[in-house]
Amino acid sequence: MAISLQLCRVPLRSYLSSDNRVPPRRRITTVFVRCAGGDGSTSSDSSESGFDAKVFRHNLARGKNYNRRGFGHKEETLELMNREYTSDIIEMLKENGNQYTWGNVTVKLAEAYGFCWGVERAVQIAYEARKQFPDEKIWITNEIIHNPTVNKRLEEMEVENLPVEEGKKRFEVVTGGDVVILPAFGAAVDEMFTLSNKNIQIVDTTCPWVSKVWNAVEKQKKGDYTSIIHGKYAHEETVATASFAGKYIVVKNMKEAMYVCDYVLGGGLNGSSSTREEFLEKFKNAVSKGFDPDSYLVKVGIANQTTMLKGETEEIGKVVERTMMRKYGVENINDHFISFNTICDATQVRQDAMYNLVEEKLDLMLVVGGWNSSNTSHLQEIAELRGIPSYWIDSEQRIGPGNRIAYKLNHGELVEKENWLPEGPITIGVTSGASTPDKVVGEALVKVLGISGEEGLQLA
């Protein structure tokens, strides 16, 4: 279906709450955005329309139909989550210094693992939304987190994913009186704008660390810096972050960052880059509209998807900074480079704990987390780089029948292996991604101990 776009005048006062604390003489700001035709989708382009995403987000958050703090049911929803997602076997490990031996099997649990604060907060607010609106239709714009167990539970609570056709979300199915949840990764600004024009309740569970990255790219945009975002261009979080940036390019890893830096230096870094045409082809899905590498890479800033490897983000920042120093001189660096610390604390401590765990004497590693979870993939990466046999599974269902396992490697390959669990005394390192409930890890360990022939284990 063809989409016809037109400019719409939007008085931002319509997003303000009627709360008496709002000054009555607040100035009305009018912005322009691109609005969609009849299929219900929208597109916004800040460079063409003058749309101020920061102002829009600020005023949306003050609206009477917007909630990001819950609905007063925190205690009872946390109690429900505790019943649904905790594990006795994990509690036993924690009570014994994160290490316990069952027969011939010793399990060492990482010091930091599993549900982070932002994930727990997002899931808990989603639970509150269902309690607050028991009869309303509730939608969610993406998976709330990257964990199949939690997402299935929300489906059971009749929280439905927005339908997608030909790669586009069908926002027209959302009608007046519905409730829409924005997931922990956040939502792109055009999606927020579409929803704000409907008479619905928006429940925003965006992790505050993600919002911190948005603030960083908005500052870069204000200073006319191009944002170099360390992330995966199709990841929900990076899509949202890019929507708040002005000019941007997404680099997945150090190799891609070095390519960009080499281009800036005219092939003077490592010779990996080539022509402008090749550059644009290489990053065709990972740059802002109309991206010009010759003019847009004169002033750059660093941002990141919060789940990326901390060390790699830091090294990318250093390489880019050195590149700009080399190109424009140390004395001019502040005119060409800007950086804010946007590395998520939860991601960092889990990666640090994994680095500590792989230094111990282990026979193998079990990494538990959603197969589409970026932060879990980097935990697997740490083990693989250390040379430890590591098995990344998303649930206990990947183990068995018998001594068989189906697991994923860091680069995405799915592997099946027979006799993966060796006989005799073994030590297993265990960690889990920030979106993984303890219950899922506990169920996997029960399966592992069952293969080892340990009897009498009734914990999950």
Q: What sections of 12-169 are H helices per DSSP?
A: 46-49, 53-60, 74-85, 88-95, 117-132, 148-156
Instruction: Report the C-alpha gap between 209 and 320 in whole angstroms.
Output: 23
Please provide the DSSP assignment of 252-277 as one string: -SHHHHHHHHHHHTTT-SSS----HH
Task: Show Cβ contacts of residue 401 under 8 Å, excluding neighbours closer than 6 positions.
Answer: none
Q: Any catalytic annotation for residue 418?
A: no
Residue among 31, 90, 94, 85 at smallest CA distance from 58: 31
Tokens of 189: 């600004």
Question: 3-state SS of the chain: helix, strand, coil percent to 5?
Answer: 40, 20, 40
Tokens of 175: 């009608």
Choosing from 237, 256, 321, 384, the catalytic residue is 237
CB contact at 8 A, 213 and 239 = no
CA 209 from chain centre, in angstroms, equals 10
CB contact at 8 A, 186 and 242 = no
CB contact at 8 A, 377 and 252 = no
**Helices then strands, each counted (H, E), the chain:** 16, 20
In degrees and rounded to multiples of 5, residue 201 shows phi and psi of: -100, 125
Please provide the DSSP assignment of 86-115 as one string: --HHHHHHHHTTTEEEETTEEEEE-SS-S-
Instruction: Report the C-alpha gap between 126 and 291 in whole angstroms.
Output: 37
Sort residue 387 into left (φ over 0), alpha (ψ -120 to 50) or beta: left
Instruction: Report the C-alpha gap between 311 and 200 in whole angstroms.
Output: 41
Centre a 10 Å sphere on the Cβ of residue 263 and count the other Cβ atoms it contains. 23
Residues facing 230 on adjacent strands: 251, 304
CA of 404: how far to CAs of 280, 327, 394, 397, in Å? Answer: 44, 54, 15, 11
Which H or E run contains 228? strand 226-230
Report, as residue numbers or ranges, the catalytic residues. Answer: 237
